[in-house]
Amino acid sequence: MNSNMTLKRNSREQSHNRRKILKKVWENETISRAELAKQLHLSPATVSSNVAELVRMNYIRLGKEGDSSGGRKPIMLEINEDSLAAVGITVMKESVLSSLVNLKGEVIDSRLDKYTLPISKDSILSTILFSIKKILAIWNNNQKICGIGIGMHGVVDYSSGISIFAPYFSWHYINIKTLVEEEFHIPVLVDNDARVMVLAEKWFGKYRSLQNFIFLSLDEGVGGGIMVDGKLFRGSGYAAGEIGHIHVKENGSKCICGNYGCLETVAAIPRIVGEIVDQIRLGYPSYITDIIGDKPLNLIDFDIVLEAVKKGDDLCKKVLSKVGMYIGVASADIINFFNPEAIIIGGKLSLAWDYFKEDVRETVIRQSMHECNKNVKILRSSFVGCRGDIGAAALVVDKILEENFLQSLNK
């Protein structure tokens, strides 16, 4: 009994050390065994034995010789980004984007599949399964698929993989995790589509040094994710980050949540396009009418808005400037409450970053406390536009660095 307990304890300790070593190599990109021992406060022997095992598993590879202050030059260690791959899925309003992503967040291949009409629960779920099947078909057998990550809108119970409420689909309590795992027999993780982008920034983005930040996803809807001390904060009921429902406008339009004047009513892409269309109908001049010609106004989309604003269209500039002000109002509340290092803005609206960023910054300075905002950066996402597939893959990568998940991959 005592012998078995000792073996289990040693196994847990080894797994814990391997996770720490793998994470540290990941963070440094290239590092020596001696530096690993120093940074992790482990003995050289412990580092060497665990590195040897990680090399054997193909998670770490030997790189070039490093610099030496005397004696033999060290062999540097690197992540073998092609040893594992994750499938990242983002479930959108009208389609599913699926990608095969390696350990450095590089997209190996991807595909977009639209839902069959009429859109229903069955057509959405069958499209998810079809898209995963097709993306797995291009899988290189030398790579181990370590998991499938799925990001979707609404309230998602991360622990069970259940979509509690998805307003665009009008469904409640759909067990996405079980459905996909039973079909493919690969570990599946499901979370909110804005929250997974926090993990994309953490592992694959330009701002990996940030430990406390808020991610704003401005797309078909408006959502958010919260990073606290390097950890994704989900909330007690997995609903943290519903930033789209911060009140920003008096006497505003009705929101999908039932309230009025929410950020989503003024900063979601359909609302922005709708405001521009309404102004054109009222006779406000715009380059958009030249772009679309005789086509009906209801064919205007955000791509056309981007084309017009880049040509200097006054109407589009005016609307985007006001949107930036509203984003700033919500951001000021967030900054007063959380005092983060940064607000990172992503989603499709980030493609128009240059036309609203100063309005966000000016409103934040004007409406939040100086002690809260003085060091806060307002940044554009590393993933301009919308790459929820990378965020969903990052959900898997984040889990890999927990020892039990890493251990389970090698059984």
pLDDT value of position 152? 94
Is 188 in the same domain as 148?
yes
pLDDT in tens, 102-120: 988 899 999 999 998 888 9
pLDDT tens for residues 183-228? 999 999 999 999 999 999 999 999 999 999 999 999 999 999 999 9
**Strands (DSSP E) along 115-269, which ranges?**
144-152, 155-157, 162-166, 171-175, 188-192, 213-218, 222-228, 231-233
Q: Which pLDDT score, from 0 to 100, does residue 407 have?
A: 57
Q: What are the pLDDT digits (tens) for 293-345? A: 989 999 999 999 999 999 999 999 999 999 999 999 999 999 999 999 999 99
Whole-number mean pLDDT of the chain? 91
When computed from its CA atoms, the radius of gyration of the chain, rounded to whole angstroms, is 24
Model-level pTM? 0.90
Model pLDDT, residue 104? 87
The tokens 């399964």 sit on which residue?
Answer: 129
* Range 149-157 average pLDDT: 94
pLDDT score at 223: 94
Angle at 132 between CA 130 and CA 136, to 5 degrees: 120
Of 28, 63, 79, which one is at a domain's C-terminal end?
79
Shared domain check, 114 and 29? no
Same domain as 358, residue 226: yes
Q: Tokens for 239?
A: 């609903």
Asked whether residue 306 falls in the same domain as residue 162, the answer is: no
Q: Are residues 210 and 235 in the same domain?
A: yes
Q: Which amino acid is at 250?
A: E
Residues 372 and 237 in one domain: yes
Residue 261 has a pLDDT of 96
Query: Are residues 275 and 286 in contact, defined by beta-carbon separation less than 8 angstroms?
Result: no
For residue 248, which phi and psi values (nearest 5 degrees)?
A: -130, -10
Specify whether the CB–CB gap between 364 and 335 falls below 8 A: yes
Same domain, 168 and 298: no
Whether the pLDDT of residue 358 is over 60: the answer is: yes
Query: Domain boundary residue among 79, 101, 118?
Result: 79
Q: Given pLDDT bands bounded at 50, 70 and 90, which one contains residue 88?
A: very high
Domain boundary among 63, 79, 95: 79
Give the pLDDT band of residue 8 (cuts 50, 70, 90).
Answer: low
Please tell me whether residues 303 and 154 are part of one structural domain: no
Output the pLDDT for position 141. 63
- pLDDT above 80 (res 3): no
Least confident of 67-81, 154-168, 212-226: 67-81
- How many domains does the chain contain in total? 3
Is the Cα torsion angle 322, 323, 328, 333 positive or negative in sign? positive
Q: What is the pLDDT of residue 296?
A: 92
If asked whether residues 89 and 75 sit together in one domain, one would say no
pLDDT in the model for residue 156 = 95
Q: How many C-beta atoms lie closer than 10 Å to residue 130's C-beta?
A: 15
Give me the CATH number covering residue 21.
1.10.10.10
Looking at residue 63, what is its pLDDT?
87
* Predicted confidence (pLDDT) at residue 404 exceeds the cutoff of 60: no
Q: In what order do the strands lie in the sheet with 60-65?
A: 30-31, 75-79, 60-65
Residues listed for the chain: 411
Same domain, 371 and 224: yes
**Torsion sign, CA atoms 63, 209, 205, 147:** positive
Rounded Cα gap, residues 266 and 270, in angstroms: 9
pLDDT at residue 177 greater than cutoff 80: yes
Mean pLDDT of 127-133: 96
- Bridge partners, residue 60, by sequence: 79
Domain carrying residue 65: 2-79
- Do 185 and 288 lie in one domain? The reply is no
Domain CATH for 217: 3.30.420.40
Q: Domain check: are 38 and 149 in the same one? A: no
* 132 membership: H or E segment, kind and range: helix 121-136
Yes or no: say if 214 and 203 are a contact pair by the CB < 8 Å rule: no
